[in-house]
Amino acid sequence: MDSILPTEGRHVLHLFFRVEHSQWEIFSAQEQLAAKTQLANLVKDVRAEADTQLLTLSIVTPKADLGFMLVCPDLQALDRISKQLTLSLGAGVLVPEFSWLSMTERSEYTTSEEEFATSLAAEEDIVPGTPAFDERIASFRERMAKYAKDRLEPNLADWPVFCFYPMSKRRQGGRQNWYALEFEERKKLMAGHARVGRTYAGRVRQLITGSTGLDDGEWGVTLFAHTTSEIKAIVYEMRFDEVSAQYADFGEFFIGIQMPLDALFARVAL
């Protein structure tokens, strides 16, 4: 079938399952080994596909047993792979508990080149037509190009602690309607929000993906860290930021541990 590709970016699917052990135990030892080999081969093949990433996760709480995070450009491929994953251990063994479809996207609140040039003149007296201006603008363009590529074509971190949660912006009457605010006010608030996030550079890596029109909320937030302490700290601190305190609604939180399939099989008693 023809590929279904976005104009830019990647499709992203979070897919979490419960293991139905009573169904698994119906299989013979030979059938169980064949099923695990089938899933291992599927994961290997998916990871070999162009511009495609697949994480295997043990979900820590009883909300689910194991999970996958899949990133790929083609919606057809994503749909095919998700169905293959669901059936990979045999019908009825992996029971879907939660899924979230989203896409990588640019932020509409990034600083424009015009805004950066204005700030250079106002704050540093560096004006157009000077070597210093040209150098700073070239550096700005390079930095923003990398930022856009990292947002649209991310390389997922291999850090062990994984956190995912969906969120939306409030539309309540009066003050708590994000979409009733003027763009400049929203941009100013998001700049403050981003400053908090940057203080966790090197400790927490995040990927914000858009799900408006694709799933029940507006964004999916994926965090990677080396310890749950960092996840807890950044989410707690962010909640005091006005963007979160006044305008954010959060969905369920899922904590997972990245691990290879052999360790994952042992963890969930397969």
Residue 267 lies in a domain: no
Is 43 within a domain?
Answer: yes
Q: How many domains does the chain have?
A: 1
Q: Which helix (H) or strand (E) holds 245?
A: helix 242-247
**In a domain? residue 150:** no
- Both tokens of residue 258? 């990245």
Model pTM?
0.92
Q: Which domain holds residue 26?
A: 11-105
Query: What are the tokens at 161?
Result: 């602690």
Dist CA 170 CA 244 (whole Å): 10
Two tokens, residue 71: 């990133």
- Predicted confidence at residue 109, as pLDDT, reads 87
Determine the residue type at 70: L
48 inside domain: yes
- Residue 72 lies inside a defined structural domain of this protein: yes
pLDDT at site 258: 98
Q: What residues are labeled active site?
A: 165
Neighbours of 258 (CB within 10 A): 19
The token pair that represents 133 in the structure block: 């201006």
pLDDT tens track for 75-134: 999 999 999 999 999 999 999 999 999 999 998 888 888 888 888 888 898 889 898 888
Q: Is residue 213 part of a domain?
A: no
Residue 29 sits in a domain whose CATH number is 3.30.70.1030
Give the C-alpha distances (Å, rounded to integers) separating 57 from 132, 180, 183, 219, 222: 48, 39, 38, 21, 13
Residue 223 lies in a domain: no
pLDDT at 197: 85
Q: What pLDDT score was predicted for residue 174?
A: 67
pLDDT of the residue at 256: 98
Q: Domain for residue 230, yes or no?
A: no
pLDDT at 120: 86
Give 10-residue mean pLDDT values along the chain (270 residues). Answer: 95 98 97 98 97 98 97 98 98 97 93 86 88 89 90 96 96 83 90 86 96 96 98 94 90 97 98
Give the sign of the dihedral formed by CA 260, CA 264, CA 267, CA 269. Answer: negative
Distance CA 56, CA 69 (A): 7
